[in-house]
C-alpha cells in the first residue's frame, strides 16, 4: 500500500463524510479507494480491447414467449462470451434475467446493448467490471 494525502475544501470534506455514513463505509480510506477504483474502471473502458466481465440485467413479460426465445438464441449465438444466466419469476407476469458475460469491452458492449435493446425488454442495466491481472 502507498499512502496518499489530499487536501479539500470543508464543504467537500463534509459532503464526503455524509456519503461515507450513508453508504456504510468503515473509514474514509475505503470510501476513497472505491471512488478511485470506479474512476479507473471508467478510464480503462476507453480501450475497446479491455477484458471485462459484464452483468446485464433486465425484466420482461413472460407471456411474450417469442422474446424469451430470442433472448436465449442471442445468448447461444455468443457462446464465447456468455458465462452464466439466471432467470427469476419475479411476479405472475414478469421475469427478470441476469446474464454474465466476459470478453473485450467493445464486443461485450455490443452483446449487452443488443440484449436490452430487444423489443419488450425493460429496465435494462449493464455493469462492466474491467479485469486486470493484478485484481
Angle among Cα 128, 95, 123 to the nearest 5 degrees reads 45
Q: Is 125 in the site for Ni ion (CB under 5 A)?
A: no
132 known ligand binder:
no
Q: Is 64 in the site for Ni ion (CB under 5 A)?
A: no
User: 60 or 105, CB closer to Ni ion?
Assistant: 60
Which CA distances in Å does 56 have to 53, 60, 61, 83, 113? 10, 13, 17, 12, 9
Site for Ni ion in 78-107 (CB under 5 A): 89, 95
Residues annotated in the binding site for Ni(2+), as ranges? 76, 87, 89, 95
For Ni ion, the binding residues (CB under 5 A) are 62, 89, 95
Amino acid at each position: 500500500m502507498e499512502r496518499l494525502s489530499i487536501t479539500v475544501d470543508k464543504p467537500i470534506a463534509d459532503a464526503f463524510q455524509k456519503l461515507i455514513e450513508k453508504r456504510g463505509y468503515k473509514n474514509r480510506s475505503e470510501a476513497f479507494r472505491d471512488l478511485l477504483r470506479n474512476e479507473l474502471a471508467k478510464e480503462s473502458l476507453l480501450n475497446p480491447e479491455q477484458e471485462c466481465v459484464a452483468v446485464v440485467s433486465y425484466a420482461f413479460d413472460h407471456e411474450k414467449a417469442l422474446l424469451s426465445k430470442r433472448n436465449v438464441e442471442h445468448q447461444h449465438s455468443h457462446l464465447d462470451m456468455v458465462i452464466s444466466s439466471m432467470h427469476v419469476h419475479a411476479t405472475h407476469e414478469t421475469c427478470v434475467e441476469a446474464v454474465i458475460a466476459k470478453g473485450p469491452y467493445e464486443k461485450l458492449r455490443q452483446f449487452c446493448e443488443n440484449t436490452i435493446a430487444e423489443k419488450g425488454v425493460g429496465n435494462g442495466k449493464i455493469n462492466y467490471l474491467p479485469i486486470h491481472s493484478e485484481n
